[in-house]
């Protein structure tokens, strides 16, 4: 009887430990949308979102002020429509701008919000007009290679036969 009682307690302890490790793993990977703070939704349109995903952080001055709630494709404008859940305790001017930034050289992407100077604040349902799309590393490399190839050719030379 005593042994089975100990087995139950050990099993319970192992289950709680496994649940705690799973919770920490999901929380550190931004896959757990557990937030008890009230939010309001705003929208932004981007030409290219790169590797942006739902639950990605929205940061201002390095502080998380919201999260990406959903990403859809607007087939009339041919842009990505990003819905953002901003924490209610943070108020940003209507003319604030959004940029898709990267943590480090090849790190995960997040949205950076830069406050504007408007006296009116963002409200639920507003669309942020000033956005800057993600920088795609492949595009930068191809532009660099193209410019280097163009530098290599003399300007007035005729093609060889």
Q: With contact defined as beta carbons under 8 Å apart, do 80 and 72 qualify?
A: yes
pLDDT at 59: 93
The chain-wide mean pLDDT, for the chain, equals 85
pLDDT at 153: 65
Domain boundaries, given as residue ranges, for the chain: 1-32, 39-145
CA proximity to 110, closest of 39, 37, 53: 53
pTM above 0.85, yes or no: no
Integer-rounded Cα Rg, in Å, for the chain is 24
CA proximity to 121, closest of 83, 160, 94: 94
Helix, strand, coil shares of the chain, percent, nearest 5, are 25, 30, 40
Per-residue pLDDT tens over the stretch 8-47: 899 999 999 999 999 888 777 656 655 667 889 999 999 9
pLDDT at 149: 81
Backbone CA torsion sign across 32, 38, 40, 44:
negative
Q: Which two tokens stand for residue 2?
A: 């005593």
pLDDT at 114: 92
């Amino acid at each position: 009887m005593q042994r089975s009682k100990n087995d139950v307690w050990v099993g319970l302890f192992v289950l709680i430990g496994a649940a705690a490790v799973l919770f920490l793993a999901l929380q550190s990977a931004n896959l757990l949308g557990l937030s008890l703070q009230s939010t309001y939704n705003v929208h932004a349109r981007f030409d290219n979102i790169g590797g942006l995903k739902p639950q990605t952080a929205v940061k201002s001055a390095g502080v998380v002020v919201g999260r990406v709630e959903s990403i859809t494709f607007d087939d009339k404008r041919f842009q990505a429509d990003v819905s953002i859940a901003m924490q209610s305790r943070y108020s940003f001017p209507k003319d604030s701008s959004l940029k898709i930034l990267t943590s480090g050289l090849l790190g995960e992407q997040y949205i950076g919000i830069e406050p504007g100077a408007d006296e009116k604040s963002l409200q639920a349902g507003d669309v942020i007009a000033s956005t800057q799309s993600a920088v795609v590393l492949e595009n930068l490399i191809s532009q660099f290679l193209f410019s280097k190839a163009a530098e290599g050719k003399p300007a007035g030379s005729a093609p060889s036969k």
